[in-house]
């Protein structure tokens, strides 16, 4: 119930305090040891020696493996996010460069067309002149 309430509030389900987590695991191990002693007092079958310690060690090992997996997963996702962001930034810079280039080329093309029209108009007025006598 508590985990569900924490999930609804948007909190992480991981313990905030590592010392408290350690104490909880220690209490779990001690409870297993207590259960083993109670089975001895009840006259039940002899429990496996060290079973609670093995369970405690396996739980700790699984927790370490899980933390390593999550850490690697988060690191890989961070790298992928950084690569995608740099790709998006590069595409944005390229688009800005194309826009600037097109913006600069439009007036230049207009000036070139004006020069070509002026040259065509100037050369049309001298239809009878020879090409050798035209000024350069």
Domain assignment present for residue 29? The answer is yes
Work out the burial of residue 32: count CB atoms within 10 Å of its CB; fewer than 13 is exposed, 13-18 middle, 19 or more buried: middle
Domain assignment present for residue 24? The answer is yes
Question: Encoding tokens for residue 58?
Answer: 């396996």
What is the longest distance spanned by two Cα atoms in the chain? 131
* Average pLDDT across the chain, whole number: 75
Domain assignment present for residue 124? The answer is no
Contact 47, 40 (CB under 8 A): yes
pLDDT per residue as tens digits for the range 80-106: 999 999 999 999 999 999 999 888 888
Domain that holds residue 13: 2-95
CA 98, 100, 105, 107 dihedral sign is: positive
Q: In terms of DSSP H, where are the helices of the chain? A: 2-9, 18-41, 51-124
Domain assignment present for residue 84? The answer is yes
Q: How many domains does the chain have?
A: 1
Contact 47, 39 (CB under 8 A): yes
- Distance in angstroms (rounded) separating the CA atoms of residues 38 and 33: 9
Whether the pLDDT of residue 56 is over 60: the answer is yes
Domain assignment present for residue 68? The answer is yes
């Amino acid at each position: 119930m508590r985990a569900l309430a924490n999930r609804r509030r948007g909190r992480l389900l991981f313990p905030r305090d590592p010392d408290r987590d350690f104490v909880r695991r220690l209490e779990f191990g001690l409870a297993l040891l207590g259960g083993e002693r109670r089975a001895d007092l009840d006259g039940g079958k002899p429990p496996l020696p060290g079973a609670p310690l093995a369970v405690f060690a396996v739980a700790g090992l699984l927790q370490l493996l899980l933390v390593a997996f999550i850490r690697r997963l988060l690191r890989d996702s961070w790298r992928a996010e950084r690569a995608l962001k740099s790709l998006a930034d590069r595409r944005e810079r390229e688009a800005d460069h194309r826009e600037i280039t097109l913006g600069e080329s439009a007036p230049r093309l207009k000036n070139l067309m004006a020069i070509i029209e002026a040259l065509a108009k100037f050369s049309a007025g001298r239809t009878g002149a020879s090409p050798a006598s035209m000024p350069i």
